[in-house]
Amino acid sequence: MTHSIPLRARRGLTLVEVIVALAILGGVMLGLGMFSVRLSQATSSSRIRVTAAQLASDRLEQVKGSPRYTAIESLYVATEASITNNIGFARQTWVTRVGGTATDTIDYKIITVQVTNPQLSGNVRKTTVIAPY
């Protein structure tokens, strides 16, 4: 007479299953880490670009609020190497006059402001047109 030993229900995981699960978990964690780094870089870059755009807009508003049309060039054409409370940003303003002589029928000024930062790829440039007032 042979006695058969009843097979017990299998409990736990095999070593291969544990290794596969750890490999999948490691891949997911690595992917999340890389996503987090890229998100942080994109957020930082966007913050710098938004600040540069705001500095350009602020300068254009200053020029638009100038009390005298004839004094715009003398008051605002400049390169600002350091801007208060915005370390690392530089702002440059150009004014191009179109027409304006006694024989011209047109007279307006094109104001361009460019803001740069070493951490910014490229620069931010904004332009507007102002007519005599």
Domain positions in the chain: 15-130
Q: In 3D, which of 101, 95, 99 has the Cα closest to residue 128?
A: 95
> What pLDDT score was predicted for residue 6?
63
Confidence band for 12, pLDDT divided at 50, 70 and 90: confident
Q: What is the pLDDT of residue 13?
A: 85
What is the mean pLDDT of the segment spanning 94-105? 91
Give the model confidence (pLDDT) of 64-92 as tens digits.
999 899 999 999 998 888 887 888 999 99
- Those residues whose C-beta lies under 8 Å from the C-beta of residue 42, and which sit 6 or more positions away, are none
Q: What is the pLDDT of residue 37?
A: 95
Q: What is the mean pLDDT of the chain?
A: 90
Rounded CA gap, 42 and 10, in Å?
49
Output the pLDDT for position 101.
Answer: 87
Contacting residues for 17 by C-beta, under 8 A, at least 6 apart: none
User: pLDDT of 112-122, one tens digit each?
Assistant: 999 999 999 89
* Per-residue model confidence (pLDDT) at position 94: 96
pLDDT in tens, 25-43: 999 999 999 999 999 999 9
pLDDT band at residue 3 under the 50/70/90 scheme: low
Look up the pTM and report it: 0.74
Does residue 4 register a pLDDT over 70? no
